[in-house]
Every structure is written in C-alpha cells, then in structure tokens.
Amino acid sequence: MTAPDLPRLAALAALACAATAAIAQAPYQYDNKLPPSPDYIGEIRRGPDGQLRTVPAPAAEPAPAAAMPATALGPGQKVIRVGDGDGLISLAEAARLARDGDIVEIAPGSYRRQPVVWTQKRLTIRGVGERPVMVADGASAEGKAIWVIRHGDFTVDNIEFRGARVADGNGAGIRFERGSLRLKRCAFFDNEMGLLAGNNADSTLEISDSEFGQAPRHDGPLHHLLYVGAIGKFSLTGSRFSGGYRGHLVKSRARDNFVAYNLLVDGPAGKASYELEFPNGGIAYVIGNVIGQSAGTDNPTLVAYGAEGPRWPENALYLAHNTLINDLHHGNFVFAWADKLGPATEVWAINNLLVGYGNLDPAPHGRFEGNPTVSRAALIETGGVPLRLTTDSPLRGSVRTAGMAGARSLVPQAEFVFPVGSRPLQPPSRVSPGAFQ
C-alpha cells in the first residue's frame, strides 16, 4: 500500500462508522422498508431415495365464529344477546331479564315455538347479521301473536315473523297493543294477520323498509297483511306488500296516516280485497306509491276511503303521484264514501298515473287533475310490475306541481327501490304523473 492510499482509506473508515452509528440510532427507518413476508405454501425436501418432494404447508386453523359486533351503550344500558351459541340465551329469558332502555340482539337462525310478551317501557330489539326468523309452529303468546308488545316505546329492527295461527283466526306476527312502535327492515309472511295494532288514540306506529306477504289461504276471518287499529299516527314508507287473500294488503283506522313510496301490488296470483283501505276516514296522505290489483282480485277497488263511516273529527284523503294499476277488466282506482263521511269531506287526486281500466270519480269537494290513463305497454316494467314512463313518453313533464295540502307537500321526496326500500328523490324542473320521475 502506498502512502497516497492512506488518507483515502481513513476517509472510507470514517464514513462506515458514521453509517453504523446512524443505523443504531434510528433502526425503525429501515425496518419499515422491509418487504412483506411471503405466504407460506410449503417447502421442497429430498426424500430417503434421493428424490425431491414437495411438502405442503399444514392446514390453517379454522377462524373462530364471528361474534356479535360491539354496541355503543348509553348510561345504564346493557345488551342482552339471544341465540344458539355459547353464552346466548332464549327469547323468553331475554324478555325476563331486559330492563327499560336495554338492547336485545338476536343472532341469525330460526326460533321455533318461542312466543314472547314484551312488557318493558322502552326497548330496542334487533336482529344482527342475517335476519333471524321467528316461526310460530303452533305456539302463540296469550293466544294472540308470536310477539305481544304490551305498552311502551319499542324499536324492532331486522326480524322476520312466520306462521302465526290462533283459535280466533287473528294470529299476528306482532300484536302491538299500545305505545310507540318503530318497525324497520322486518318481514311478515304466512300469518293470519301480519301486524295487528290496537285501538289506543295515543299510540303511534312507524313502519319502514319492511315486507309483508303470503296471506294464508283458508276460510275464517279476513287475513289482512297489515291491520292498524284506531291509533293516533301511522306511517308506512319504503315497504312491499303482495300475495293477499280475501283480506286487505293494508287497512288503517288511524287518525293521521302517511303512506308513501311503497309497493302495494298483490301480484298475479294475489286475491286480496282492497290494496289500501281507510274505513273510518281520518287524514290520509298517499304519495308516491305503486298500488296494483290482480285480475283475480276479490274486490274491484284499489283504494277505499270511508266505507264504515267517520270516527275522527277531521277527514281528508290526498292522493298524489301514485301509479295505480288495475289488471281487472273493470273496477275503481279510488272510491270514497262521501255519503257516509259527509259531503264536505276533501278528496284530492293529483298527478296519479292510471294503468288499465277503472273509474276515478271526482268527489263533491277536492281537486282532481293530472291523472292520465295509459296501458301497461306505455311503461317500463321492473320485477313484472309496470313502473316508469318510457324516456320518449309524451306524458313526461306534462303535469303541474301538486303543491301543498295543509302543512304537507304533495310532491314526492323519495321513490320506491326494488326489492324493498326507498331512496331520496330530487324533484325535476318538469313534473311527470306517477310514482317515478
């Protein structure tokens, strides 16, 4: 080594020491840059005969069953979990343990012969994950229903009810006796009454994004898919009804009714009576629905109002932007018993789309305008139901805005979405008749 090389070697040694010190002081800067570990798929080994063989990786341990998700709780609240897994209890035990304000969470599965009476003053009951199914299988609570809700403020979410039968023929998925009930994303099939509400004027019922169908086809009392008694307020939105038999799809005796953005279509095999009935009048807003009866209907009227005379001091029916479908060769799209309710009763029908044959007779008091009649061929079908005007239809943008009735707008704010639910709607600058803009 020559003398001129010595300074250069000393400089290289100094740089190496500095780099070593830097790595020692901040190793995380380098660890974060390592490539991810490759998936282990096995290895190659040489056997006793000298041949190479592939040895696969051992099978992975099965992942544990997913637990119910954690729930944010308020002061004093607890979650009671129901199901067939470890640590989960029966519905009857949950009803016994739950206190006002608690949350009952039900795991997926079929719950047979587990009728319940809920007596709490405030409770949330919800299915977690795939919708759990309450199957009556011949059992009932108090000879009334699969569930009886006695008197409280209840939310029931993501639960299905099937097969209710009782001695008097009025077996319900839920018997709602009194209080406030919010029903969301639920289903009722093959019950003598889907949901049956009592006659307390202080009660309120709100149903959204739910499904009702498959009325039993046996003799006896009429089997309504939804029967709302003489309560104070009733709201039905984003829900689907089909498969009635002799009874009505929806019957309400409530004082104040808001029925909007639903699909009340009996279906080809349906034999319902009325699709929508308000037998005692009341205030009824019917906005943005698709309402249809089959050729085999048990009653030629789709929407009936006031057939049993008045119960409430104020009575008015406001129908706006509904698509009314009659597959029978005659009938009534809407029929109001003005002689029973009094000639001053307001009945409005504005910007409804009438599909097929039928009458829409003006009432003595009210507004009747923008209700054209078309054939099924003029509409685009979804799920076998004629819903939307074609893009080149001359009826598009052909009607005036429906305006207000009292404090409520008659312009639809949402529209039904298949198979169940609704979505917000931005009203267009030019308005079309029917439930879809």
**Closest to 266 in 3D by CA, of 319, 303, 309:** 303
Residues of the chain with pLDDT > 70: what percent? 83
Rounded to whole angstroms, how far apart are CA atoms 127 and 81? 10
Average pLDDT score over residue span 60-89: 67
Q: Is 226 within the bounds of a domain?
A: yes
Locus of tokens 């943008």: 397
CB atoms within 10 A of CB 225: 30
Q: Is 6 within the bounds of a domain?
A: no
Cα torsion 280, 118, 207, 332: sign: negative
In this structure, what is the dihedral angle of CA atoms 285, 286, 288, 293, given to the nearest 10 degrees? 180
Check residue 59 and give its pLDDT. 42
Instruction: For residue 211, list its beta bridge partners.
Output: 187, 240
Residue 74: pLDDT band (50, 70, 90) is: confident
Helices (H), 304-414: 338-341
**CATH code assigned at 106:** 2.160.20.10
Check residue 31 and give its pLDDT. 39
First-last CA distance in the chain: 91
Average pLDDT score over residue span 314-337: 96
Q: Which residues contact 395 (CB under 8 A, 6 or more apart)?
A: 353, 372, 374, 378, 389, 432, 433
Backbone angles phi, psi at 334, to 5 degrees: -145, 140
Buried b (16+ CB within 10 A) or exposed e, 278-300: bbbbbbbbbbbbbbbbbeebbbb
* Average pLDDT score over the chain: 87
Residue 58: pLDDT band (50, 70, 90) is: very low
User: Which pair of tokens denotes residue 105?
Assistant: 């969470």
Average pLDDT score over residue span 196-225: 95
Q: Is 51 within the bounds of a domain?
A: no
Q: Does residue 202 have a pLDDT over 80?
A: yes
Cα separations (Å) of 12 from 7, 17, 25, 26?
9, 9, 20, 22
Q: Is 70 within the bounds of a domain?
A: no
Q: Is 30 within the bounds of a domain?
A: no
Residue 257 contacts residue 282 (beta carbons within 8 Å):
yes
Q: Is 46 within the bounds of a domain?
A: no
**SS3 (DSSP) at 400:** coil
Residue 243 contacts residue 218 (beta carbons within 8 Å):
no
**SS3 (DSSP) at 162:** strand
Check residue 32 and give its pLDDT. 38
> Could you list the residue range(s) of the whole structural domain that residue 353 is in?
80-424
Residues of the chain with pLDDT > 90: what percent? 76
DSSP state of 413: S
Q: Is 267 within the bounds of a domain?
A: yes
Q: Give the total number of structural domains in the chain.
A: 1
pTM for the whole thing?
0.83
Rounded to whole angstroms, how far apart are CA atoms 170 and 132? 23
Q: Is 38 within the bounds of a domain?
A: no
Residue 19: pLDDT band (50, 70, 90) is: very low
